[in-house]
Each structure stands twice: as C-alpha cells, then as structure tokens.
C-alpha cells in the first residue's frame, strides 16, 4: 500500500487521545454504612492510583477510527503491474470530452480497443473505462489538470516505449510550460475543434462627442485579435441596452452585459517603498495603454493627501489605514496585510496565470469573504472582505521580486486588470483571456525522447488503484460500533 500524501499519516498521533482517556479512568468509591466508628483506630491516610485500560474493545475501536482517518488524509492506493501480452497500448481521453470526439475518432478508438488497446481516462489516476459506459461520461466534470502534467505522470507510470495515444483538446491556453521528456511511444491526437469565432466585449467607455468605444476580443482556432471599434446603432453584432440611466453593451451571442464606463478610473498609490510603487505604476500604465482607458494615477507623498473618493486606493504600506470610515462607497481599498512572515516557494494562482511563484507570504489568521488569488495550497494571497459599504482587499505578500516574481512577469498587468475591472464592475464578469482564447497549438507535437529512463519491459505497465473508498466504509462501521458500545456502557451505568 502506498500513500499520495504521506504527511497525512501524522494524524495517527491522535491515537494518544483515546489512550489518555482510557488510562485516566477514575471511579467514585462506594460508601459503606457501619454502626459505630468508635472501635476503628486512626490510620494514616493512604491514596492509590491505578492506570489501566478496562474497556479494551472500546479503546481499540477508537484507536482504529483515528488510524483510518489518518490513512484517508494520506490517500492510500495500490500499485499493480499489468503484464498481459495482449495489451498493445493505451488510448486516453477525458471522459467529459467524449462527446466532442468526431464519429470517425470514436470508430477508430473502438477498433483499437478491439485489437487490444486499453481505454483510460485522461485525468488524475488514469482510471480504466469502457465505451459501453459512455452515457455516464456526460455527468463528469472536465479535468483542469494541464495536459503536460498528465503526460509527465503517464511517463512515470507506463514502462518502456509503451504505445500511448492521447486524444485531447489542443487549446493553446491549456498547454503551458516546457514540453516534457518522455520514454513512451506517445502520440497526441486533436479532439476536433469547432472552428467557430468567439466574440466578446472586454470593456466599453464613452469617448469624444458621446461616442462609445468598445474593446472586442475575437478568437478562433487559428488566431486571437483585439480591436477597438466605435459602436453605432447599425452595428450588426453589437447591441446596446440602457437601464436606470446607465448603458450596457455586448455581442449578440454573449451572455453578460458589460457596463459602459462614463468616467475615468481614479487610482491613488501610497507607499513606503518606492520600488513597490514603480512595479505597480508600470503595470497600471500597461493596462491603460492596452485598453485605451482614461486611468488617472496619483502618487501622494503624504498620508493626508490620499483621496478617499478614488475608485481604488493601493495602500502599499504596513502603516494602518485609519481613514476607513471616510471612504466613499465606490472606493476599493487594496492594502498590505501585516503579520508573521513565512518563507515558501509555491505557485501563485491569479486566475489568469499559474506560471509565477511566490517566495514569502504573510500568514493569514483572519476569516474573509472570498479569496481572489491563492498560492498552490489554496492559502489566500488576495482576500476580499466586505464590511458594510466598504470593500477591502488584503494582499498577503508584497509587490517585490524578493516576495514574488509576478512583478517581473508579463502576466502581472493581465492579472491586475482582471481584479481592477471585475471588482469595479467595468468588465464582463466572465472575462478571462484563457477561457475565451480559442487558439489551438500545432497538431503534430514532437516530444523529446528520454533514453536514460527507458524501461525495456515494454508490456509491463504500473497502474495506481485508489482504495480510499474501502477505508471510508470501514471507518463508518467502526464509528457505528463505537457509538453502540458507548451507548450500552452508559445505559448499564
């Protein structure tokens, strides 16, 4: 038996709790009534303690339950070797994407399956699947694990130059990072992409002479372009809606309306460290240049000069911001969190990118409404907390390359733009460059052959089988028996 997260076994130390409870078994003495105490001589006071376990069965059940919980946290699995000579290779595809396969591709998969190829899910665990269960594939959620990561896992599990055929969506946004080295006989086949044009409004603003300038994103399998157009009533694809004196615009096939910006975006940046402000100002200027939006950036040198009616206040200081009650309702406050610093080396997940890393963070001990950015373990990096009419964003790191390499990355303006525009309701709330980017990578990908790790046993493949479900069942029955024995013990006094 193996474990995915061996650190979870540390929970087994909890077995000391039932041990202490059962050893600390103190019973009240019984009172013996006698006629007279005159003849009883005075004796020295004596006391005795006896540490022993009397309810062994109950103790064992409770200990076993804690051990099972520890095993479940560690995610147990078994490694088995499949050396059947009639297995010629593996065919993999994401179950949730089966409906996107063309009729020809499904026929090829069926034919290869009949000739000795096994079919597996292109997702964590690579579970073996059968085409007769294809109706159940519709209920599965699509995998969010990057294809290159899955290919690396395949390479570690399958031996030799094992024939492996992967059907996957070749969306460019999914294939990030360097091409992995493999010793497999690997072939990537594209799930047929519908070459439809995706159009979405990123944002819109009022220009000169009350014209409406619209930034449009158009993406197909071959290319993605951004274009600024002037809206007019005769535009065949765009439509305008006016509600409560505010204008909203969208493409006709777009789900969400995008608010038309009528005023410039005002941002105040206050800092104790000019270097932090330089990185932020550069990103804000890049956003303004890309979007053509009128963004007014102020860098007040004194605490008292910070505008409390700006759209955003970036408080890049560990000093407390004591003008919270003076902020306008529209103002969003972005401030550095203060607390104990932890040295880490983890991925930074901003929603727009997962390629950057974070090296230091402030440990978060407070409760928040929402986490906007997180590290690779799900810990808050930007948290959103709404208190009454005000909205605060706590930043649990610093805009400094010693804390994160995001400030040097081209992803910084894009990630920051997503926060700024979404949280100020200036952008389509479903806006995501990766989601809306329909570009496909080249179909014929060349993988680097790694001869050093080549295993000559071509027919042997190692497969991981999760056995967590068995532990769940065993834990349930153990808990049930423990409760029954505890109840009977109380009932018997």
- On average, the pLDDT of the chain sits at 80
Phi, psi of 29, rounded to the nearest 5 degrees: -75, 155
Please check the confidence at residue 398 and state whether its pLDDT lies above 90: yes
Residue, of 19 and 493, whose pLDDT is higher: 19
Q: Where are the beta strands (DSSP E) in 278-422?
A: 295-298, 312-316, 332-336, 341-349, 356-362, 370-375, 380-387, 390-395
Residue 226 makes CB contacts below 8 A (sequence gap 6+) with 202, 215, 216, 217, 218, 290
393, 335 Cβ separation under 8 angstroms: yes
- CA–CA gap between residue 123 and residue 106 (Å, rounded): 19
Q: How far is CA 152 from CA 80, 96, 391, 397, in A?
A: 19, 21, 42, 31
List 217's β-bridge partners, or say none: 200, 226
**CA dihedral over 49, 50, 53, 54, signed as positive or negative:** negative
Q: What is the mean pLDDT of residues 228-243?
A: 87
Q: In order of start, what are the domains of the chain with their CATH numbers?
A: 84-193+440-459 (no CATH), 198-261 (no CATH), 265-429 (3.40.50.880)
Residue, of 74 and 381, whose pLDDT is higher: 381
- CA–CA gap between residue 244 and residue 96 (Å, rounded): 42
Burial class from Cβ neighbours inside 10 Å (0-12, 13-18, 19+) for residue 404 reads buried
**CA dihedral over 361, 367, 368, 373, signed as positive or negative:** positive
pLDDT on residue 429: 46
55, 96 Cβ separation under 8 angstroms: no
Q: Where are the beta strands (DSSP E) in 376-442?
A: 380-387, 390-395
Residue 156 makes CB contacts below 8 A (sequence gap 6+) with none
The listed range with the strongest mean pLDDT (82-91, 214-223, 424-433) is: 214-223
- CA–CA gap between residue 166 and residue 180 (Å, rounded): 15
User: Which two tokens mark 437?
Assistant: 């980017």
Give per-residue pLDDT as tens, 86-115.
Answer: 678 899 998 888 888 888 989 999 999 998
**Pick from 224, 189, 226: nearest CA to 442:** 189
Least confident piece of the model among 136-150, 272-286, 301-315? 136-150
List 335's β-bridge partners, or say none: 315, 394
- CA–CA gap between residue 211 and residue 208 (Å, rounded): 6
58, 482 Cβ separation under 8 angstroms: yes
The listed range with the strongest mean pLDDT (76-85, 108-117, 253-262) is: 108-117
Q: What is the dihedral of CA 256, 261, 262, 263, to 10 degrees?
A: 150
Helix (H, G, I), strand (E, B) or coil at 74: helix
Which percentage of the chain shows pLDDT scores above 90?
17
- CA–CA gap between residue 23 and residue 30 (Å, rounded): 21
**Pick from 383, 379, 395: nearest CA to 346:** 379
- CA–CA gap between residue 457 and residue 235 (Å, rounded): 64
369, 390 Cβ separation under 8 angstroms: no
Please check the confidence at residue 375 and state whether its pLDDT lies above 80: yes
Q: Cα 379 to chain center, whole Å? A: 10
Least confident piece of the model among 164-178, 201-215, 422-436, 472-486? 422-436
What pTM was computed for the model?
0.51
DSSP-assigned letter for residue 227 = E
Residue, of 121 and 452, whose pLDDT is higher: 121
pLDDT on residue 44: 47
- CA–CA gap between residue 312 and residue 481 (Å, rounded): 58
Please check the confidence at residue 205 and state whether its pLDDT lies above 90: no
What does the longest C-alpha to C-alpha distance in the chain come to? 116
Give per-residue pLDDT as tens, 322-369.
Answer: 887 788 888 899 999 999 999 999 889 887 666 789 999 998 766 555
**Pick from 298, 277, 297, 300: nearest CA to 289:** 297
Which percentage of the chain shows pLDDT scores above 70?
79
349, 382 Cβ separation under 8 angstroms: no
DSSP-assigned letter for residue 171 = B
Q: Please calculate the CA angle 365-381-372 and round it to the nearest 5 degrees.
A: 110
């Amino acid at each position: 038996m193996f474990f995915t997260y061996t650190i979870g076994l540390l929970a087994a130390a909890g077995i000391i709790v039932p041990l202490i409870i059962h050893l600390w078994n103190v019973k009240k003495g019984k009172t013996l009534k006698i006629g007279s105490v005159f003849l009883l001589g005075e004796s020295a006071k004596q006391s005795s303690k006896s540490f022993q376990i009397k309810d062994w069965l109950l103790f064992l059940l409770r200990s076993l339950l804690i051990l099972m919980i520890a095993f479940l946290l560690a995610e147990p699995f078994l490694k088995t070797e499949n050396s059947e000579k009639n297995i010629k290779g593996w065919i993999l595809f994401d179950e949730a994407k089966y409906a996107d396969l063309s009729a020809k591709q499904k026929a090829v998969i069926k034919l290869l399956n009949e000739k000795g190829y096994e079919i597996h899910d292109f997702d964590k665990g690579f579970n073996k699947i059968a085409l007769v269960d294809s109706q159940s594939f519709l209920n599965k959620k699509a995998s969010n694990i990057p294809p290159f990561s899955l290919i690396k896992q395949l390479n570690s599990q399958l031996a030799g130059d094992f024939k492996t055929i992967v059907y996957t969506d070749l969306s460019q946004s999914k294939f990030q990072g360097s091409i992995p080295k493999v010793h497999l006989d690997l072939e990537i086949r594209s799930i047929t992409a519908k070459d439809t044009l995706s159009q979405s409004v990123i944002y819109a603003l009022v220009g000169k002479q009350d014209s409406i300038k619209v930034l449009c994103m158009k993406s197909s399998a071959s290319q993605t372009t951004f274009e600024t157009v002037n809206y007019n009533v005769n535009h065949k694809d765009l439509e305008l809606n006016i509600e409560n004196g505010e204008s909203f615009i969208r493409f006709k096939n777009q789900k969400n309306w995008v608010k038309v910006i009528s005023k410039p975006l005002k941002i105040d940046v206050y800092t104790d460290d000019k270097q932090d402000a330089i990185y932020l100002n550069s990103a804000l200027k890049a956003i303004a240049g890309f979007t053509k939006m009128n963004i007014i950036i102020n860098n007040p040198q004194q605490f008292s000069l910070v505008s409390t009616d700006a759209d955003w206040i970036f408080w890049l200081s560990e000093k407390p911001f004591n003008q919270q009650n003076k902020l306008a309702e529209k103002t969003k406050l972005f401030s550095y969190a203060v607390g104990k610093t932890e040295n880490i080396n983890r991925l930074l997940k901003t929603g727009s990118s997962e390629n950057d890393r974070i090296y230091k963070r402030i440990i978060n001990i407070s409760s928040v409404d929402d986490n906007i950015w997180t590290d690779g373990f799900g810990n808050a990096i930007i948290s959103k907390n709404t208190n009454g009419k005000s909205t605060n964003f706590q930043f649990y790191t610093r805009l400094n390359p010693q804390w994160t390499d995001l400030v040097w990355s081209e992803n910084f303006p894009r990630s920051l733009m997503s926060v700024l525009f979404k949280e100020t309701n200036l952008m389509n709330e479903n806006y995501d460059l990766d989601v809306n980017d329909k570009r496909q990578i080249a179909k014929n990908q060349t993988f680097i052959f790694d001869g050093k790790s080549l295993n000559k046993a071509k027919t042997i493949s190692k497969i991981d089988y999760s056995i967590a479900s068995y532990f769940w069942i065993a834990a349930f029955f153990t808990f049930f028996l423990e409760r029954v024995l505890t109840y009977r013990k109380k009932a018997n006094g």
